[in-house]
Structure 1
Amino acid sequence: MAMRIACGVLLFLAGASVASANDAVLDEALARKALPAAEVQGSVRTTTLVTGGDEPETETSIVDPRKRPDKALASYAELKAVIGTGAHVVERQTGRTIYAFTTRHVPRTLARAGNVSIDMDGKDDDEQFDGKAEVSLDATGRPYVSRLDLRLSEPAGNLLAKVKKIDLSYTFGPAAHADAMVATAMSVDVDVRALLFVHRTAHAEAVLMPDAPEASKTPAPSTK
C-alpha cells in the first residue's frame, strides 16, 4: 500500500496473514466464485475528497472495468486472503452472521484526488488491520460475504510521515447474469500527517453503476 501526499512523502506498507480455522458457513461463503472484471456489466464511479490543503480537492471519475481492469473494484476472490482462516463469530441473526478477524492483507484499492493518491496493491502488509465480515444469504439460501470492513489497528509511519487512520469498507452481491459474486461499492477514509506541518484527510467512495437495460438504450420511435 502506498500513499502519496503533497509534500512528496511516500509510505509503503507490506506483510502476511494469520492461520487457524473458520466455521463451515464462512468457508462456504469464501468459496463462492468471483465475477471476472471483463464480465462486469457496468461502470465504476469514484468520488474522492481531500481536505487539509488551502482548499478542499474533489475529483470524480467514471471507468469501465471491462476496458480498465486495473481500475475495477476489488475482486471477491481476494476475500480468502484478506479474512484468512482465523475469523470468529461475534453476532448471529437469521440470515446474517458477523465475523471478526485480524489481517495483514488489504484488497486492491485505488483512489486519487489532486496530489493525494491512495494506492493499495492487494498484497500483504506490515501493518495489522482489524476486520469484520458480514455473511448474508442469497435468493437460493447460499451464504456469501456481503460486506467487509477493515480498520488500521495502530497508526503507522515514521518521524517524517504518519498514517493516523485507514478505514476501508466493501460491499458485494450476486451478479445479475452469472452465478458469481461482484463488488458493488467501496469506501476509504485516510488521515495522514507529515513533516509536522502537513495534515491531509481523504475520503473516497466508489460505486458500481449497472449498465442500462438494452431496451432503455434504444431511442423511442418518432411520433412525427
Structure 2
Amino acid sequence: MMLNCSAGANVSCSRRPFSSSTTPPVISRLVVCKAGGAGGFGKSNKKKVSTEGGMVIPEDGKRVKKSYLADSDSKAASKAAADGAPPGFPNDWIDLKLKASDVPFGKNTKTVELAAGKVLMLYKFENMVFVSDANSTAYQYPMVDAKVFRDSSGAIAAEVPLDGTIYDLATGAVLKWCPKDTPVRSLLGTLKSTVQATPLQVYPVHVTQDGSIWTKLVL
C-alpha cells in the first residue's frame, strides 16, 4: 500500500496478515517514512543528552535541577534508586567509591583509579564536581597538579602547571593552548605551535543526595 505524505515523499507501508490462532506480532512502529522533500516530516524528535561534565553538589533536603541524566522509564528509575545508582543508568554509571567531602578544599583535585585500570581525575571547586581524563592533552602531564579556578568568563577552568594549557572543566574545551609566558613554556609552546589544540575528555557527573560521586564514561 502506498501513502502520499504532505512533505512530498512517498511512504511505503508493509503489512503481513496473521491468523487468529497465532500471537499478533509486536509492532514497534506503524509507519516508517523516508522524506526527501522540505518540511518537518521525518525529523527526529529525540532530545540530545549532554555529555559535558560537572554537577552541583546537592544540599541536604534539596533536589538539584542541573543534571546530565537522560530520561528513563519509571521501572529503570526505580531499579536505579534501589541500587543506589543515578536514575536511568543502573548499568552504565560508575560509582567512584568516594564522596565530595573526600576531596579537601585545600586540594581541588583527586586521582581515581577504576577497577579496569583506567585513571580519572576528580575536581571540586566551590560546590561543583567535575571528572576528566587523568592527563593533559598537550604533553600528557598529570592533571592532579592542575590549578583549578574561575576565569574571567565565569567558567571553571584547570591550568596545567607544565605547559600552561587551560581547559574548561565543564566542556573540556581548550581556553588557552600552550602559552609562551615563561622561558620553559615558550619552548614547549613552540614545539606545539603547529599542533591543533586538543580538548580534554570530560565525563558526565552525578552526585547523590549523600554526596556519593558517580560518572559515566563517554567513548
- Would you call these one fold, judging by a TM-score over 0.5? no
* TM score, norm. by length of structure 1: 0.27
Question: Which structure would you say has the larger Rg?
Answer: 2
Determine which structure has greater relative contact order: mean sequence separation of CA pairs < 8 Å that are 6+ residues apart, divided by chain length. Answer: 1
| Structure showing the higher strand proportion among its residues | 1
* TM score, norm. by length of structure 2: 0.28
